[in-house]
Structure formats: C-alpha cells, structure tokens
Amino acid sequence: MSKQRIALVVQRYGEEVNGGAELLARWLAERLTALADMHVITTCAIDYHTWDNAYPSGESNLNGVCVHRFLVDAPRKEDFAERTLALFDGERTLFDELQWMKDQGPYSTGLLDYIRESYHDYDLFIFVTYLYPPTVFGLPLVSDKAILLPMAHDEPYLRLPIIRPLFHLPQAIVYNTEPEMRLVNRIAHNEYVTQIVAGVGINVPENVSAERFRRKYGLDGPFVVYAGRVDSSKNLPELLDYFARFRDEGGLDVKLVLIGRLNLDLPDRPDIISLGFVSEQDKFDAIQAAEALLTPSLYESLSMVIMEAWLMGTPTLVNGRCEVLKSQTRRGNGGLYYYNYDEFAVALKMLLEADDLREQLGRQGRAFVMSNYNWDIVMAKYQALLDKLTMRPAQKRAGERVLHQFTEAISVGDAVSDQVFIIQRWLREMGFTSEIYAEHIRPGLEGRARPAREYRQQPAETCLIHHHAIGSDIAERVQDIGLPQILIYHNITPPRFFTPDPVMAASLNKGRRQLEEMRSRTLLALGDSGYNERELVEIGFSPTGVLPIALDENQFDVATNEALAAECDRDRPLILFVGRFAPNKRQEDLLKLLYHLRRISPRARMVLVGSIDFTEYMAWQKERAQDLGLDESAVQFTGHVSHQDMLTYYRCADVYVSMSEHEGFGKPLIESMYSGLPVIAYASSAVPDTLGDAGILFHTKDFEALAELVDVVVKDEPLRQRIIARQKERVQTFLEPQVRQRWEAYLRSVGLLPD
C-alpha cells in the first residue's frame, strides 16, 4: 500500500523561523515523513510583523519534507495596530472582519490557488494555527480533507464570527492540551467534531552545556532566562517592569537574559541582557545554565519552551493569569506561578535562594515531560487519526482492525474477567478482531482466552488494551511488545493489608511500580471508578477517564435455586456479604456486627460468600466467630458458590452489608442494588463512588449502632422500599448499554472508532 500524501499548511516554515506554532509544525511534518509523503504549503515570509518575502518562491526540500513556498501579496501596513483597535472598539460587519484578516496577513493568492487546484493531489491537509489567512481562507477549500491544529488560547480573535466556522468544518481537530480543547468547545460548541488531544513530543539535544553558554556570552553569576518573541504580545513589558522592580527593591543579584527576536524598546539596564535570535544550541545551553525560565505570556495554547526547560531539569516561573500555563505548571509540578508583582517577587526569590526547591521542581518537571510528551505516544495518536480519516473501504473489514486485550488471569466469577469478556464482545460487534491474552487461564476457559505466549503482533495493530490490578508478568510482556496501550486500571490493594503475607505484599508493591512505569506508553488511562481515576491523575497519567464495571442484565436471567431459597428462609433476618476472604474485606467486623445484631434479633444469620484464597485468614475468621459465640447456625462461610447460588443469595437476603476498608469498585454492591437488596456499606475507597447517593453509607464502625440500623432497615418497610427504589435508579449507570456508550466515546477520543 502506498503512503498517504499529506500537505501541512502553515503561515511560516523554516529553521530560521522562531515561533512555537511554526516550530511544532516543522517537528510534526518531519516526524510524519515516517507515515506519509509529506509536503508543506507556506509563504516566503520569516518576519511575522511585516510578512516581507524573504525566501525564494518555489519548491525545496528541508529534512525530507517537500516545501512549497508562495509569495505574500503585500506586506503588513504600518497602521495595522490601529486597524485592530478600531475593529474591536466599534461596530463591525463580516466584511470588516474579512478585510482585517487579509490586512493581518500573510495573504497569498498563489498559496490559496495551489490549495484549491491540488485538492485531488493530497489525501489530507493539516492546517496549523487558526488565526492566519492560510487557514481562514484555505481550510474551507478542502474542508472534507482537513485537519485543524488550532493552537488556540483565550484571546479576542477566537470569538470573531469569521473564525467560528473553522471549528466546525474540518474532519478532525487536534489539540495540544485538555484546557485548549475545553476552551474551543466552550466558545464554538463543536463537541461533535472528531477531536483528540495529541500534545507534542519535546526535543532536547544530548550535548547541552551551561558552561559553553557562559563562556560564549561572557556571563558570570546567576541569571534567569526568557526564550521566545520579545514583544508586547508575549507580555514582555510587564516582565521587564517586574524584574526591574525586583532588583531595585533590594532583590538578589541576578540578571535577566532575553533570547528571541527583539520587537520592543528595552530599558537601559546592565542587568537586562538581550541576545536577540540565537541558534537552537545556544537556546538550550542558556536554559540549562539559567536558575529558572520565566514565561510571562497571557495567551498560550501550549508552551514548548517550558517543556524543554523541564526536560533539562530547569524550573519555571509563569504567569498564573494564563490558564494554560497555570494548568501546565500544576500538572507538571515543575515550577511556580504568580498573579501579580508581589507573588512574582516572592516566587523568584524562593527559586534563587532555595537550591533544593529548584532541584525538586526540575526533577518533577522532567519526569512529567518524559511520561506525557513522548514522541512515540504523540505519533501513535496521529497515526490512528490519519488511518481513520483515510481508511479505504477494504480496510474497514473486521479483520483489518485489530485490538487485543491483555490481563494477568482469566477466571470465573471475577469482576475483571467479566469486564474483559464484555469488552471483547463489544469490540467484535464493532468490527474489530479482538482476542484475550492471559498468563493464567482457569481450566475450562481455554476456549475464551489464549495463553499470552501465543501472541504475535499483526501489521494492523496500532495499540492494545491492558488490564492492571496487581504485580504481573503480563505487564512486563506488554512493555516488551512496545505498542501504545489503553490502560484499564482496576486498583491495587495497599500492601499494608497483607503484611503477614510477604509474597502477596511484594506482588502488590511490584504492581504499583509497574503502574508508574506505564505512563510514557499509555494513550488513555481509564479507572473503573472515580477513585481509581483520581489515583491515575495523582500518578501523572493523562488523559484519564472512568469506565465502570458493566452489569450484564442477561447474567441475572437465571432461575432461583429453590432448595437454597428455602434454606435462606429458615431464620431471619439474613445478612449477606460477597467478596473473597482477604484482610482488606474485614469479614471479622461483619462478625462483630452479627454479634450485636443477634442481641436485638436473636435469629439473625449471616452468609459470607467468597473464594478462600488465604486459608490462614479464613481459619482466623472462624476462630473469631467461635470467640463471639457464633456457630454454624448463625454464620455460614460458603467459599466460592455457583452463579445460580450467588443470585439466589442476593434475592433472598434482607440486607447487604460491607465493612471492606479497600475497594477499587465493588461489583457486589451493584449486583445487590440490581437484585433489590438494600445496601449498607462502610464509606471507604471507591465505595462512595459506586453507591453514589444510593444505599446507606457509614463512616465509623460503631457496631452497636450499626446493628440497630440494620434492624431498622429490615423492619421499616417504607424506608426499605425507598432505599431499593433509589438503588434501582443508581444501578442504571452501570448497565451495559450505558457503559458501552462511554467505551465507544473513549475509542473515538483516541481515533480508534469513527463517529
């Protein structure tokens, strides 16, 4: 199959061009040469203030990319700033906005004619930045083949009526950050358009040298650096004022070094040094040598220079009034932000005086960039999107789309295994070839899953699905495969619960380490509860979401075991708990509850259903029951039961009670709610997320009070019915059709499923 032919359209392009959007455009075009026959359509301009033609027109080759340059019709007029003020100060028509856009430039008749005439020559057109004529006038000419990288930030131009169609016309929009996507969605209401957050990979040369920079420019002593365009649009006047005040008011002995093309007058001060435009090597050397990088801009879609600084371990100080910069700083934890001069002065003083703070911020920033701005992950997102948008009919056959799942073990009655089976069914119904690969497969399930050792990567695979819940061999296998992953995280029980079992505790610790190592190769991280998603966010995964355990209603279409039901009726009330016997489940607390409940209701019974993985813990539970005077007529330890028997217990019990102190989701909670069984549960870990405002949550284990509560729920029929009714409403969230809608939306978000 021949490579796709793709044209990237951008207002300026070249190694001499100093601008974030244009630099990203060049990086992207050069990276895309591995996937497509890449062409760039651009102007002959370098200077974005004048748009003077600097390059010769025609075709050239730059780093493997065919560049088509076209002359700008006319340079920008000197009174353009006044025209801009007039546009926003008074009434304006659509014609006024169109004329202003042409006056802003760069407007090139030749460039627009080429886009129109070459429609059939390219599979896709990628337009970089929303704000300039090549995109505003060029994208509508090829909208059914267009991808937009808006590079948007919160500025007045974004709200111009002539701009809004750009966010509805293209086949897809690629954002650098989540805040950028939210901003555009809020203003343009274009959520229905295919959208992904791809970010950008960060490049830093290997031979960066702080000492080389100091020698070359004769700089001694500490300095902070600004790198970018030195003009008002980047809020440089405020930075210059703040820095001068900091020094004049007795601030520390430090210089401000400015790197970038100078477009404004500087104060005549020896502590403010402008180097003008420098080479990329000098820029990186300067950032390495600096105490901190300062970024005062009010408007950004993504600051790549911040990422570059973090990758070199240099902390940053940014303007907190720019939501994107503040969000970037808070997520990366690699710097500080300020809102006014006083905060600027305090933060800068801290960075200059506290070596340990600078080093810590630098380490955190570096870890964040390495995990989230990795070119392999970024390009996997682009490849999935490009494949989706240019997919030929022959490629749409089920056998041409492959998405396999990997999990450590496949078993019976296990929540993770059940979810894996459901997802496989969904994927196959969507037209994917989808197998389940596991290291351990329970006897009898060999036909539903395949041994992980049998996996062979197929050409059509672009990523895989990985379920993670414990230290596992499958996690290492997935890492060796090397494909980007959709991570579905089912939670890792804290090892402290398993201190008496060093083998299990070690496995849980291993699982935690493996989880943290997955960030750099994860396209999308999903927790099966809000609790799990919050944990993923804290570790540094992005983007994240929640994919609850799905409840298959067909699984409840099973007849009741009448003999067991009759046994359940022997004594009442009947209290039920379902869960494997493990220390975090705290079955011993259920026994204490039963002891107090039998003082109120002497015939109360309890059934504890669950596999017995820890025999010593189970033996200890039986000893506790004996100590409390609870014989086999009072409490029954069933071990693993059949699916029919488990449903019978749900249908026949009076109350479901959970004392568990750690749950990643708690599937028995939703099974109880679906079965019409009132739930009373300890509000730990994911339990509040799963129950929502249904059932009854308690926060302290006052067993005498809890026994009275259980007795009320059993005997107060109106209360009982209100609880059951609210639980029935809540459980709708977890039914298969609702969860499948979420799953399909997540697949669309990473370009694996068409709209």
Low-confidence ranges of the chain (pLDDT < 50): 1, 392-399
**CATH of range 395-546; options 3.40.50.1820, 3.40.50.2300, 3.40.50.2000, 3.10.129.10:** 3.40.50.2000
Q: What is the distance between the alpha carbons of residues 147 and 126, in angstroms, rounded to a whole number?
A: 5
User: Are 4-197 and 556-734 the same fold in CATH?
Assistant: yes
What integer pLDDT is reported at residue 394 of this predicted model? 35
Report H helices in 118-177: 133-136
Output the CA–CA distances (angstroms, integers) from residue 705 to 129, 700, 710, 738, in the order listed: 63, 10, 9, 37
What integer pLDDT is reported at residue 274 of this predicted model? 94
What integer pLDDT is reported at residue 2 of this predicted model? 66
Output the CA–CA distances (angstroms, integers) from residue 738 to 548, 646, 743, in the order listed: 10, 25, 9
Domain 4-197 class, CATH top level: alpha beta
What integer pLDDT is reported at residue 372 of this predicted model? 75
Give the CA radius of gyration of the chain: 31
State which amino acid sits at residue 516: E
For the stretch 220-267, pLDDT in tens is 899 999 998 899 989 999 999 999 999 999 768 899 999 988 888 999
Q: What is the distance between the alpha carbons of residues 294 and 242, in angstroms, rounded to a whole number?
A: 11
The β-bridge partners of 406 are 437, 466
**Which region holds residue 695: left if phi is over 0, alpha if psi is between -120 and 50, else beta?**
left
Q: Which residue has the tokens 């298959």?
A: 552
Q: What is the distance between the alpha carbons of residues 294 and 292, in angstroms, rounded to a whole number?
A: 6
Q: What is the distance between the alpha carbons of residues 42 and 40, in angstroms, rounded to a whole number?
A: 6
Domain boundaries, the chain: 4-197, 210-372, 395-546, 556-734
Contact 731, 551 (CB under 8 A): yes
End-to-end CA distance of the chain: 25
Q: Does domain 210-372 have CATH number 3.40.50.300?
A: no
SS (H, E, C) 638-682: EECCCHHHHHHHHHHCCEEEECCCCCCCCHHHHHHHHCCCCEEEE
Residue 81 burial by Cβ neighbours in a 10 Å radius (0-12, 13-18, 19+): exposed
Q: Which of 635, 613, 633 is nearest to 625 (CA)?
A: 635
State which amino acid sits at residue 613: D
Q: The domain 556-734: what is its CATH number?
A: 3.40.50.2000
What integer pLDDT is reported at residue 319 of this predicted model? 95
Crossing angle (nearest 10°) for helices 341-353 and 236-248: 60
- Largest separation between any pair of C-alpha atoms in the chain: 95
The β-bridge partners of 196 are 174
